[in-house]
């Protein structure tokens, strides 16, 4: 009647947040960073062994998630078999695109029963007890972090993204960034929002140098190697007539 639970080997912390580009610049300092979409779906941890997907667990509360391996196999773009045969653990976001979200809502005649946003629909689709339903919903997976790949060490996050793409994974769109080009890169993402088919609630900035980021450790709540950037609230005027 429900999904089995599983404890994560290490706690998955949420990211510290800012709405200020200047704060992003000072956070990065003289280091090189990687700026990527913060996709608005459901975070999933995948484990591959012998080139096959053997486990998929939702983030849950950061300590304990739900096992959704059968459903992950039904994601429309997830490779079930990869060239790398050692143990691989990666994290990514499961999302439903706006066009697919709208198509699904069009099939629901009762206005009150329609889904409010793609994130809610995705969460329900990923956590289905029947993976055939997940398959119908066109859930896609975008990798945003390589946790471990036995026998391989990477110096930079961008190398991890390139390697994951070579393995057949869709990776979150990302750009190298410095404090000098931070504003124009954030602006580039901002301009892309209108044509971006995947729901996003901001950006993630990480240090490109993996060892440096790891050396900073974590606070009680946040990792110190990444920070989230949220768009400023859109403010409009309205008139209250009654």
pLDDT along the chain (242 residues), means of 10: 83 90 95 95 95 94 91 93 96 95 89 87 87 89 94 95 96 96 95 90 95 90 92 87 95
Which pLDDT value is given to residue 133?
86
Q: What pLDDT, on a 0 to 100 scale, did the predictor assign at position 23? A: 94
38 included as an active-site residue = yes
> What integer pLDDT is reported at residue 1 of this predicted model?
57
How open is the CA angle 19-24-30, to the nearest 5 degrees?
175
**Cβ atoms within 10 Å of 195's Cβ, excluding its own:** 6
Q: How far apart are CA 173 and CA 224, in angstroms?
A: 22
Cα distance between residue 171 and residue 196, in whole Å = 15
The predicted pLDDT at position 195 comes to: 87
Contacts of residue 241, defined as CB under 8 A and 6 or more positions apart, other chains included, come to none
| Predicted structure pTM score | 0.91
Out of 11, 38, 155, 241, pick the active-site residue. 38
pLDDT at 193: 87
Cα 223 to Cα 241: distance, rounded to the nearest angstrom: 47
């Amino acid at each position: 009647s429900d999904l089995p639970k599983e404890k994560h080997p290490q706690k998955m912390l949420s990211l510290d947040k800012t709405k200020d580009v200047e704060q992003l610049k000072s956070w990065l300092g003289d280091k090189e960073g990687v700026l990527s979409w913060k996709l608005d779906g459901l975070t999933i941890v995948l484990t591959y062994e012998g080139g096959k997907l053997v486990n998929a667990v939702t983030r849950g509360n950061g300590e304990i998630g739900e096992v959704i391996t059968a459903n992950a196999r039904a994601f429309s773009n997830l490779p079930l078999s990869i060239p790398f045969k050692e143990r691989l653990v990666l994290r990514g976001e499961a999302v439903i695109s706006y066009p697919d979200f709208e198509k699904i809502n069009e099939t629901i005649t009762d206005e009150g029963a329609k889904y409010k946003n793609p994130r809610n629909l995705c969460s329900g689709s990923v956590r289905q007890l029947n993976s055939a339903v997940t398959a119908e919903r066109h859930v896609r997976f975008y990798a945003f972090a390589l946790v471990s790949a036995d026998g391989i060490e990477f110096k930079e996050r961008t190398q991890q993204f390139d390697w994951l793409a070579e393995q057949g994974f869709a990776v979150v769109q990302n750009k190298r960034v410095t404090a000098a080009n931070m504003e124009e890169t954030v602006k580039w993402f901002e301009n892309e929002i209108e044509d971006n088919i995947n729901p996003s609630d901001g950006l993630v900035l990480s240090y490109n140098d993996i060892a440096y980021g790891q050396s900073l450790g974590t606070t009680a709540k946040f990792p110190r190697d990444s920070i989230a950037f949220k768009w400023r609230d859109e403010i409009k005027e309205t008139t209250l007539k009654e």
